[in-house]
Structure 1
């Protein structure tokens, strides 16, 4: 018992500040950007997540598809043209759509997003006409070059998961966008943007967290005991009472609670003294690179970067050339569908795909340009006539003098 009484009890110590471990949160909900490695492989999931995460990217692709415009097919025979126009207007596309316009819109959207578009011409049950058009999912097919690198074979998976050549290769339509040399698949317009898009998402996610903390404020309650011996003896108990009453006041949802304390108690908002970084400049720099890659004028996407919110002639010319390029990529698909329909219905004649004119210029500027051009031509014509009259007069004077 003497030994036990002589033992000294260890003095319990309490830390002034305690932290709690919280769940580790991802930078943003789009985890595809975190594991991105710039390889030449297809990044279908990444590009789809990019359109979902950044509305400007999705809006630019959709506006490009809409700006491509509509077309008509002109045939030598009026009867063939009328029947072909009715087919293009009412052909079934997928399970819910009708008309070749939804098919081409989805086809072009797939080509811009993933770099490659694939579609199928589905014949009717009797094989005498085209029954439907179908936009294929790129995740279910693969392109391979067997012995001839100039001929691409489309492969699909069977019930067992093996890749086999798809039947009726002549009824399949595949269009790559800007393929690399020796590659069968194309390059997406979104290639080169995952890095800057990931930075943009981090900035936007951080802004959201800052606003979340502003709406859900965290407080730091600091109690400083005075030099009184009695007060210092009960520092732990008083700190625990302050913590309990403060937590009770914060938990009274929908009720107004007062927090009353004695002594030196300091209440401050956590992070109130920190300076929030300005995000306008870096966000604009990133958006400029995204807009430059997508070739859409900024004001069409709701971005106000200049005092004159209209399309300049240079921007209109660049966008027009982009749309003409996409039209040229769609022409072989349209010709393949139309030529097959004409042959199946006994029409052996040529046809022409006529696209609507692309007019992105300001009508006032076009009118002023025509006026200035007409005035310049008139002035030039008057100058030439004046020079001719002056030359004729000089010849007459020389003849009279001789």
Structure 2
């Protein structure tokens, strides 16, 4: 009795070729992921709170996914698996995996994951997200071929052994490299200017906000000799320091001096530059890059805080584009699990509805629909039967 052997098919013919070798052609067609760029994007997100808030809001809006299978038994089993699968670090469920995956996708422009099968390859034990810093892509002879490489136990970068268990998603990839583009790619320059302004504000408040006094004693002509004036100045300094020290403990102590003594606040006459206009201009550019309405990030730039239908449509389009990028990876996970269980791998990924409207507006829309339905039923009843 012979075994059925799958017929090997030839790879698809691709007309596109690389006209020349890329700058890293000497490294066996290995294009590094440029770990410095990912570190820079993470630094921007850590330094500018509004960027970090925008990323988290996009992650929350993107989340909410489930699968649907034609067979009821497969549908119930698959969704139970998606709710209980381990994703590492004490988290469970496909939605937790999607949150971590989208976080890396938006911040670094690419995301890497791994499907961990159980012993015997009859089930999936875990879904893990990896760091893109230590991974590289080795391109093949045409754009359809690439291999994910990583460090081995000796530190050498080699192709990872089980490519079929690796998940890789680029965000808006360009034609000249296999990697995606970070959402924060154009923000380092503006973030640097913004941090300079904030740092200058902090330094100025340290200089002028913490009040310092200049006590000047001017001896009158022939009032004191040089030695006596020096002793009088030291005495004034001691008394002034003692008065300030008493103020720290909560008691009030007057400072009494004899002679011409001038006390001024250092920096009181200094004018600090107005930072409202430049900071707002920079924040407008940052918010425009994220695609989130300003009021959702705590910025009150307009007289109303209601989201217009145009803003809701644009934000919905952005979220839908991110979901469209993630759908192939989720379908691959579900199909692999179904095949491991001996079931049909037909599956459809369903995302939760994006809810960006006010509850009051939704209630009004539901009321109008019911009123229209009632009028339609009454009109149908009033029409004569034919």
Contact 1:72 1:353 in 2 (8 A): yes
For 2:81 and 2:226, locate their aligned partners in 1 and report how far apart those are by CA, in whole Å: 92
Structure 2 spans left out of the alignment, 5+ residues:
1-33, 373-386
Structure 1 range deviating more: 352-361 or 261-270: 352-361
**Map of 2:289 onto structure 1:** 293
Partner SS for 1:266: strand
Distance change >3 Å, CA 233–CA 94, structure 1 → 2? closer
Distance change >3 Å, CA 256–CA 58, structure 1 → 2? same
Count of matched residue pairs: 336
Q: Deviations over 1:47-97 (max 9, x none)?
A: 222222222111111111111242221111111111111111100101311
For 2:86 and 2:228, locate their aligned partners in 1 and report how far apart those are by CA, in whole Å: 83
Contact 2:63 2:98 in 1 (8 A): no
For 2:168 and 2:291, locate their aligned partners in 1 and report how far apart those are by CA, in whole Å: 24
**Map of 2:244 onto structure 1:** 250
**Map of 1:273 onto structure 2:** 269
Q: Deviations over 1:112-145 (max 9, x none)?
A: 0111111000011222111100000122222222
**Map of 2:73 onto structure 1:** 79
For 1:259 and 1:115, locate their aligned partners in 2 and report how far apart those are by CA, in whole Å: 63
The structure 2 residue matched to 1:324, chosen from 315, 320, 333, is 320
2:158 maps to 1:164: yes
**Map of 1:62 onto structure 2:** 56
**Map of 2:94 onto structure 1:** 100
Contact 1:115 1:176 in 2 (8 A): yes
Please tell me whether Structure 1 or Structure 2 has the larger radius of gyration of its CA atoms: 1
For 1:273 and 1:93, locate their aligned partners in 2 and report how far apart those are by CA, in whole Å: 59
**Map of 1:203 onto structure 2:** 197
Partner SS for 1:43: helix
Structure 1 range deviating more: 363-372 or 135-144: 363-372
Contact 1:180 1:186 in 2 (8 A): yes
Contact 2:35 2:133 in 1 (8 A): no
The structure 1 residue matched to 2:173, chosen from 157, 160, 179, is 179
For 1:42 and 1:207, locate their aligned partners in 2 and report how far apart those are by CA, in whole Å: 29
Partner SS for 2:133: helix
For 1:352 and 1:182, locate their aligned partners in 2 and report how far apart those are by CA, in whole Å: 32
For 1:288 and 1:369, locate their aligned partners in 2 and report how far apart those are by CA, in whole Å: 36
Structure 1 range deviating more: 201-210 or 136-145: 201-210
For 1:300 and 1:327, locate their aligned partners in 2 and report how far apart those are by CA, in whole Å: 21
Partner SS for 1:138: coil
Shift of 1:188: 0.9
The structure 1 residue matched to 2:42, chosen from 48, 70, 77, is 48
Contact 1:80 1:347 in 2 (8 A): yes
Distance change >3 Å, CA 90–CA 186, structure 1 → 2? same
TM-score (norm 2): 0.80
The structure 1 residue matched to 2:216, chosen from 215, 222, 232, is 222
**Map of 1:338 onto structure 2:** 334
For 1:268 and 1:143, locate their aligned partners in 2 and report how far apart those are by CA, in whole Å: 65
CA RMSD of aligned residues (A): 2.6
Partner SS for 2:161: coil
For 2:349 and 2:129, locate their aligned partners in 1 and report how far apart those are by CA, in whole Å: 21
**Map of 1:16 onto structure 2:** none
Contact 2:65 2:350 in 1 (8 A): yes
For 2:252 and 2:359, locate their aligned partners in 1 and report how far apart those are by CA, in whole Å: 63
Shift of 1:243: 2.8
Contact 1:225 1:231 in 2 (8 A): no
Partner SS for 2:122: coil
**Map of 1:392 onto structure 2:** none
Shift of 1:42: 4.2
